[in-house]
Each structure stands twice: as C-alpha cells, then as structure tokens.
Amino acid sequence: MQKILLPIATLALFSQAAPLLAYSPAGEDIDYSVNDEAFEGYFVSASEAAQATVLIVHDWDGLDDYERQRADMLADEGYDVFAVDLYGAGNRPQEVEDKQAATRSLYEDRERMRTLTLGGLAQAREQGAAEKTIIMGYCFGGAVALEIARSGEASDIAAYSSFHGGLTTPEGQAYSADTAPIFIAHGGADSSVSLDDVATLADELETAGIDYEVGIYSGAPHAFSVFGSDAYHERADQRSWATFTDWLEEVL
C-alpha cells in the first residue's frame, strides 16, 4: 500500500486538498541495538514537560514517515514519542510478499516480537523519555501492542491502543485483570479484521474486567488512517484521532 506523505501543518488540519510538500521531521532517527542487532527508531520529545511517552509500533511496511508524522503529532499533544523498529536497520520491505514475510516471522516468534518491542522502549527511556508509557500501533503494530498487553512484561504502562490492528488472542494467551486500559479504533468496513473479531475481543476484555473503549467507524476500511492512501477515510481518521487523544487525557 503506497503512502503519500503530507506536511505537519496539513496533518493538523486533516486536509486532503492541501498541496503535497516535503515532510521535515521534528525529531531524529535513532540508531540502537537489541541483542547486538542493529535497528533504527525515531524519537521526538514534547516541547515542554511530557505527560507520558508514547511508543509507536509500525505497520507491515516497517518504520517510515507515516509513523514519524504521527509521532510528531503526538509530540505536539505533549508526549515524548519513540517509534520502534521491529524489522532491523535498512529493512523496509516494498513488495507485498516481503511485507507478509516480515510480519509472519514475528507472528511465529512472539518472544522475539516482545523482546524487540521492549528493546525499543528501553531505548526510548535511554533518550530521556518519560517513564509512564502508552504503547500503540497501526495494523501489524496494533497486534503487537495487544501482544505486549497480554504478556504483562512491560512496566509503567498506562494504556495500550490499536488502530485497525489484528485483534485475535493466540491460543494459550489471555488478558489479566491488571492490564492497563485499552483503546481500539476499527473500521466498520474492514475486510481484514472482522467485526466478529472486535466483538470477541470486547468479550475477553469485559470478562477480564479491563477498562477498554472500542470505536467503530462506519464505511472505514482496513488501514483507514493512512494519509493519502486508497484506504484513507477522513471522517474515521479525524474522529478516531480526536477520541484517542481525549481518551489518553482521561486515562492518564
């Protein structure tokens, strides 16, 4: 899926009519390692004292300017933000088959998935990011965020969020009652993740007694928040982002 990148001012207004200009990141790319493997994340700090840190997990494309722009938007909201890299420095698959292979390797090795995600969180804290953390992700990254939520392996996690992400709980896993609040943004017309999956997850979270919120946006397909893509759905993007940022203010 091709991504068309918009300037930060445009993102703030969510205007598709504005011209496509060069994107200039507000933060910086960060080279780091996890178990002697090289990765490249992206860090941007809040302009003033941060409310918390947001760890962003990328979609199946790998970390690119879409996640960087979302990170910059969250920094404007008062958060330190680290966009983690789960694929490795220089590994940004372009073909569908390569993207499928990259995600499949991590779905099949969830211990590695968790290790690399938490390795990115450790790097964020090395950069001076606030200890209290929100873990969120897009598509594949949303599934990763929920994987961390179920594992309970991370400390100081204040909330989790998935935007049009995978919602299925693997066999043998479950959510515990002390899991931090979860926000799910889902497209009503998503043909990749079904409404049955949403209902099943809600039932799991309800049964576990977890504080959660699910936003379902009519007519929105899978990957509805990706600016400029064929899947982009402006109303769903605007409403889900506004709800998410308001929700963060409440849970923090």
Residue 11 has pLDDT above 50, yes or no: no
Q: With 0-12 CB in 10 A as exposed, 13-18 as middle and 19+ as buried, what is 179? A: buried
In a domain, 109, yes or no: yes
Question: What pTM, to 2 d.p., does this model score?
Answer: 0.91
Closest by alpha carbon to 128, among 89, 85, 81, 83? 81
Given this model, what pLDDT does residue 106 score?
98
**Mean pLDDT, range 125-136, rounded to an integer:** 96
With beta carbons less than 8 A apart as the criterion, state whether 95 and 68 touch. Answer: no
Q: 65-82, pLDDT tens digit by residue? A: 999 999 999 999 999 999
**For residues 249 and 55, what is the distance between their CA atoms, to the nearest angstrom?**
16
What is the number of domains present in the chain? 1
In a domain, 171, yes or no: no
With beta carbons less than 8 A apart as the criterion, state whether 252 and 50 touch. Answer: no
Given this model, what pLDDT does residue 86 score?
98
**For residues 157 and 36, what is the distance between their CA atoms, to the nearest angstrom?**
26
In a domain, 223, yes or no: yes
**Residue 153: which residues within 8 A CB-CB, separation 6 or more?**
114, 118
Q: Which one-letter amino acid corresponds to residue 96?
A: V
> Which domain covers residue 137, as residue numbers?
8-166+176-251
In a domain, 127, yes or no: yes
**CATH number for the domain harbouring residue 196:** 3.40.50.1820
Phi-psi region of 13 (alpha: psi -120 to 50; beta: other; left: phi over 0): alpha
DSSP label of 168: P
**For residues 46 and 51, what is the distance between their CA atoms, to the nearest angstrom?**
9
Q: 168-179, pLDDT tens digit by residue? A: 999 999 999 999
Given this model, what pLDDT does residue 8 score?
36
Task: Starting at the earlier edge strand, list the strands of the sheet with 80-84.
Answer: 28-34, 37-44, 80-84, 53-57, 133-138, 157-163, 182-187, 212-217
If you search the block for the tokens 């590695």, which residue do you land on? 112
Q: Which one-letter amino acid corresponds to residue 238?
A: Q
In a domain, 106, yes or no: yes
Q: Strand 37-44 vs strand 28-34: parallel, antiparallel, or unpaired?
A: antiparallel
Q: Which one-letter amino acid corresponds to residue 39?
A: F
In a domain, 90, yes or no: yes
**Mean pLDDT, range 6-26, rounded to an integer:** 48
In a domain, 136, yes or no: yes
The structure tokens listed for 221 are 């397909």
In a domain, 34, yes or no: yes
Q: Could you tell me how many helices (H) and strands (E) the chain has, helices first?
A: 7, 8
Q: 211-235, pLDDT tens digit by residue? A: 999 999 999 999 999 998 999 999 9
